[in-house]
């Protein structure tokens, strides 16, 4: 019999891209970085993502958003467009195009206005996706250092990021307007992803300039990058051209609803991020670094040996974004930022610095034992937001409730030997949280000192009383009727709360009882959170103790 060589069919040939095309490269995932340096994921602090450290809080019931997953979204996204128009200050929702993040809109703009034989001009160095989207459309690309109308005369599209990623610098609306007026046949795309952090918007110019498109996103100031919601603002005929070329339903129903609610009543981290951005920059300048003023949620630090510095930081679990000529740092909670500043040799030294650090009332505790690895970033004067991931769902829930009631911000990541049991994780997490409280309070000067709360949860009821004076003592009486809730052995809770108390150096009394163990535990953690909030509050009169300073 004749044997025939099997013919391996070749893969179909994709549409060509220019040789310069290279896909977007994400930063290395956390788990890979940890593995590379023999660290636990909890030991890594990411300053490289240009997103806020804590997630935005959905302001509508999540169940409502997930109730109709069998249906398609309403394809005109009217609610979202109306919310975006009102937020951005444009009267007509027909000026708004929505997309799955600003990235989606960049691709739609490229698809609409670029092609082989058309020229795309990029004001560089900047966000790499303009280049990628232009090359996918086979446009010719050129990079320019400044927004210069003479150089852009032949361009179909000019991309400008304002404030710019990665430098943080900004251009004035007047400069942008005169450029757009000089080139009426060129589409000028102004990416305002970071405008909330100190940029000057050009949205008011859209009414007058038919060649202007402004990009916005909910990924930055709103803390909702995971939702993938972005929008563009342009005159209605341009918006219609873009909408005609977008996919029919790019944004999921939950994303569109949560996004619209966020735009209607913005609750952002801008103030805190800007304060930390400016503090980090001042500390770096004082330590001899050179960094330009930033109007975004990051700082660019020019460095001759950027790669070496980034490597050195990475080996210590501190991730910054690296560029050939510098590193980019996105602020996190103050305690985290202090860890990075210390690693950069820009830590605080003098008494005034220490007093300033104390006033920030923030702490970062990173701890690894053979049983667990965990990181806690705590900021006492926060907004009650928590991101808690311990691997034990009910513990996450309890700490989230406690944080909400306490008004602090908490980012807690723990990985423990849960395959053995949850004992070590529960205990270590609460002990480290106690340490974080102790550190964040510092000398405890000026705090209210006492706090108490009674919290009912249906049939259950808890009382908590806290004294911050440094005489550690715990009286914890949680009257559970069973052994477990979810993955958590309830017997661990009193002991863990005791550890919290001892490590923090507080006096804590908690009593809780009821028929439903779930409620008993919830009431106890909520009451503790409320009592802590009261006790930690700063008073003008200082710590009240008949024996002098606590």
Q: How far is the CB of 215 from ligand PMP (least distance, A)?
A: 7
Q: How far is the CB of 304 from ligand PMP (least distance, A)?
A: 25
Compute the distance between CA of residue 411 and CA of residue 291 in angstroms, rounded to an integer: 28
Q: How far is the CB of 104 from ligand PMP (least distance, A)?
A: 7
Measured from the CB atom, the residue of 146 and 445 that comes closer to ligand PMP is 146
Residue 31: CB partners within 8 Å, gap ≥ 6? 41
Look at the chain and count its residues. Answer: 550
Q: How far is the CB of 148 from ligand PMP (least distance, A)?
A: 20
Measured from the CB atom, the residue of 49 and 451 that comes closer to ligand PMP is 49
Q: How far is the CB of 454 from ligand PMP (least distance, A)?
A: 44
Measured from the CB atom, the residue of 37 and 111 that comes closer to ligand PMP is 111
Q: How far is the CB of 191 from ligand PMP (least distance, A)?
A: 5
Measured from the CB atom, the residue of 102 and 528 that comes closer to ligand PMP is 102
The end-to-end CA distance of the chain, in Å, is 97
Compute the distance between CA of residue 266 and CA of residue 8 in angstroms, rounded to an integer: 56
CA angle 70, 74, 77 (to 5 degrees): 140
Measured from the CB atom, the residue of 108 and 388 that comes closer to ligand PMP is 108
- Answer whether 220's CB lies under 8 Å from 206's CB: no
Compute the distance between CA of residue 113 and CA of residue 212 in angstroms, rounded to an integer: 13
205: closest CA among 168, 231, 178, 239? 178
**Cis ω on the peptide bond leading into residue 166 (within 30° of 0)?**
yes
Measured from the CB atom, the residue of 190 and 536 that comes closer to ligand PMP is 190
Please state, in angstroms and as integers, the Cα–Cα distance from residue 387 to each residue in 200, 414, 444, following that order: 32, 11, 26
Q: How far is the CB of 370 from ligand PMP (least distance, A)?
A: 38
Query: Which residues form the interface with ligand PMP (CB under 6 A)?
Result: 50, 101-103, 127, 161, 165, 191, 193, 217, 219, 225, 230
Q: How far is the CB of 219 from ligand PMP (least distance, A)?
A: 3
Give me the residue whose beta carbon is nearest to ligand PMP. 101
Measured from the CB atom, the residue of 101 and 494 that comes closer to ligand PMP is 101
The helix (run of H) or strand (run of E) holding residue 380 is: none
- Answer whether 464's CB lies under 8 Å from 521's CB: no
Compute the distance between CA of residue 28 and CA of residue 37 in angstroms, rounded to an integer: 13
Measured from the CB atom, the residue of 163 and 382 that comes closer to ligand PMP is 163
Strand order in the sheet with 386-389: 362-368, 372-379, 409-416, 386-389
């Amino acid at each position: 019999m004749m044997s025939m060589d099997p013919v391996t069919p070749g893969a179909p040939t994709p549409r060509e891209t220019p040789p310069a095309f290279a896909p977007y490269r994400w930063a290395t995932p956390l788990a890979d970085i940890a593995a590379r340096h023999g660290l636990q994921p909890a030991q890594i602090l990411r300053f490289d993502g240009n997103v806020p450290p804590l997630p935005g809080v959905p302001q509508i019931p999540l169940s409502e958003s997930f109730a109709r997953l069998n249906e398609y979204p309403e394809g005109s996204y009217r609610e979202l467009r109306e919310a975006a128009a009102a937020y951005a200050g444009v009267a007509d929702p027909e000026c708004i195009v929505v997309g799955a993040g600003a990235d989606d809109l960049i691709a739609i703009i490229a698809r609409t206005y670029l092609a082989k034989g058309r020229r795309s001009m990029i004001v560089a160095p900047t966000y790499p996706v303009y280049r990628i989207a232009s090359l996918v459309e086979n446009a010719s690309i050129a990079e320019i250092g400044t927004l210069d109308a003479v150089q852009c005369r032949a361009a179909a599209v000019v991309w400008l990021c304002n404030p710019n990623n990665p430098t943080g610098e900004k251009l004035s609306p007047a400069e942008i307007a005169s450029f757009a007026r000089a080139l009426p046949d060129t589409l000028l795309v102004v990416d305002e992803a970071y405008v909330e952090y100190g940029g000057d918007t050009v949205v008011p110019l859209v009414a007058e300039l038919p060649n202007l498109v402004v990009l916005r996103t909910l990924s930055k100031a709103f803390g909702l990058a995971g939702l993938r919601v972005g929008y563009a603002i342009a005159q209605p005929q341009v918006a219609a051209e873009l909408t005609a070329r977008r996919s029919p339903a790019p944004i999921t129903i939950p994303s569109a609803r949560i996004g619209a609610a966020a735009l209607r009543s913005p609750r952002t981290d801008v103030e805190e991020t800007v304060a930390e951005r400016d503090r980090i920059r001042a500390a770096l300048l004082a330590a001899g670094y050179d960094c330009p003023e930033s109007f975004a949620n990051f700082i660019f630090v020019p460095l001759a040996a950027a790669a070496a510095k980034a490597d050195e930081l990475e080996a210590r679990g501190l991730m910054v974004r690296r560029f050939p000529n510098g590193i980019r740092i996105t602020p996190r909670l103050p305690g985290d930022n202090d860890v990075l500043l210390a690693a950069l040799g820009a830590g605080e030294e003098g008494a005034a610095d220490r007093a300033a650090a104390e006033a920030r009332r923030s702490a970062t505790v990173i701890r690894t034992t053979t049983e667990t690895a965990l990181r806690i970033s705590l900021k006492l004067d926060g907004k009650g937001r928590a991101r808690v991931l311990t691997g034990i769902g009910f513990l996450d829930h309890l700490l989230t409730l406690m944080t909400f009631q306490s008004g602090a911000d908490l980012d807690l990541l723990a990985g423990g030997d849960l395959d053995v049991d949850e004992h070590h994780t529960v205990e270590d997490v609460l002990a480290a949280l106690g340490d974080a409280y102790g550190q964040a309070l510092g000398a405890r000067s000026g705090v209210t000192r006492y706090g108490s709360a009674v919290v009912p949860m249906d049939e259950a009821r808890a009382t908590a009383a806290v004294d911050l004076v440094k005489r550690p003592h715990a009286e914890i009486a949680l009257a559970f009727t069973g052994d477990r809730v979810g993955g958590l052995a309830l017997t661990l809770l009193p002991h863990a709360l005791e550890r919290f108390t001892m490590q923090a150096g507080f006096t804590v009394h908690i009593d809780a009882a009821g028929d439903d163990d779930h409620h008993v535990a919830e009431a106890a953690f909520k009451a503790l959170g409320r009592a802590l909030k009261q006790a930690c509050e700063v008073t003008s009169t200082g710590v009240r103790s008949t024996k002098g300073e606590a």
